Amino acid sequence: MILVAGSSNLDFVVRAHHIPAPGETVLGREFKTFPGGKGANQAVACARAGGVPTTLLTAMGADAFSAPIEASLRAANVALNVVRVTDQPTGTAFICVSDDAENAITVAPGANGRLHPEHLPSLQGISHVLMQLEIPMATVSAYAQAARGQGVKVVLNAAPAQALPSDVLAAVDVLVVNEGELMTVCGATSGTVAECLQLPELAHVPCVVVTLGHRGCCARVGGQWILQTAFPVTPVDTTAAGDSFCGSLVAALSQGLGLHQALPLACAAGALACTQSGAQSSIPQAADVAAFLSQQPAPSASAIDALRTFCGLPVGAHP
């Protein structure tokens, strides 16, 4: 069983030709609300795309915004452990999605900031705790150390990007970041993915997975490198693609799969999420992930070489 500890937001989404530049006003088109939040999204991905029993520990306000989020989570068979907050509204996110499927997101955390260390439930029967950074860092640290102390694997998606205290990094078993987050976490201003992953700041993290968008992903496990090329799709909305990846990855790991098997599942779930609008509404079913994967050809040597070159790894030494 997986415990996801993290945020729940109601997403306010506007589609537009392009994302506004600073000071620019853009005339949008369709407007919809979707249940979201990195914690809630990743819990749905664990349960729906990964097919694993999942509980979400989250904080929500005593307002109408919480209702559609809770309904979406229950529909995905996510068990809820909700800390009800009366002095803050449920978290919200304001998202602009462009015609080329890119997005810009501003989050108002609200009740998410009220998830505290004392709210952690019993970890009996839990194999993995999955967290993100839309809840207080002190809470992330406390949960990670409690899980580590009880032999529960800790997976942290360091998003939104910020520097991580040493005590948090010391308690993490698997760190998941994108390229920008990788730079922030390791304190680098330049360098390849491989160079950043070998910096002292990350040297003691057993496994670091870097998502690379349309290129795929790269993982360092100890001194071993594992690469997975992306699966091509026609994107509609990239919102929750990373969350789908994280949830599916942890679900696969909780079922005893190694990274060589887990990364293709995670990449497939992330790719399929890009083909639908919204956050939780875009996360695929496990059967759809399996069917999609079964139709994908094995990556060519040239595609793997291209990914290795981008990451700054020697070409030809395929994992």
How many Å apart are CA 252 and CA 249, to the nearest integer? 5
CA angle 164, 165, 170 (to 5 degrees): 100
Distances (CA, A) of 227 to 210, 230, 245, 293, 312: 10, 10, 15, 16, 12
How many Å apart are CA 72 and CA 279, to the nearest integer? 11
Question: Would you call 105 helix, strand, or coil by DSSP?
Answer: strand
Residues in the chain: 319
In this structure, what DSSP letter does residue 199 have? S
Residue 296, judged by CB atoms within 10 A of its CB (0-12, 13-18, 19+), counts as: middle
Distances (CA, A) of 72 to 61, 75, 290: 16, 5, 23
How many Å apart are CA 197 and CA 287, to the nearest integer? 34
Is residue 206 a contact partner of residue 283, using CB atoms and an 8 Å limit?
Answer: no
Q: Is 243 a catalytic residue?
A: yes
Which of 90, 108, 87, 125 lies closest to 2, judged by CA? 125
Task: Kindly give, in sequence order, each residue whose CB lies less than 8 Å from that of residue 292, ignoring residues fewer than 6 positions away.
Answer: 231, 268, 271, 272, 284
Please pick, among 167, 243, 288, 305, the residue that the annotation labels catalytic: 243
Is residue 138 a contact partner of residue 115, using CB atoms and an 8 Å limit?
Answer: no
Looking at the annotation, which residues are catalytic?
Answer: 243
